Amino acid sequence: MGAVKEVSSAQFAAEVLDATVPVVVDFWAPWCGPCRVVGPEVDKLALRLGETTKFVKVNIDEARDIAMQYGIMSIPTIAKFERGQVSAQVVGARGADALIKELGLV
């Protein structure tokens, strides 16, 4: 099992919005090819940065309300939440190093 936790709509507020550390959210769907490419990269980040940052996945098919609330139009979308707000966002598949830079995780 990876270090990235799958969260439902019901868990989103507690796991992401109320978190005391930055949270990286991987918005994905099982049918999305690029999502399957970026998933292992997010897992690498979770293993590398898991002490200071929380990592979760949200299946947009099962949590449509969350996807709509945050305007997720394309997947994969990787968003960094800080203090309950989106502070950075990347759309499309990227490697772990690119995600670190683009999300400001360093």
- Residues marked active site are found at 32, 35
Residue by residue, what is the 3-state secondary structure of the chain? CCCCEECCHHHHHHHHHCCCCCEEEEEECCCCHHHHHHHHHHHHHHHHHCCCCEEEEEECCCCHHHHHHCCCCCCCEEEEEECCEEEEEEECCCCHHHHHHHHCCC
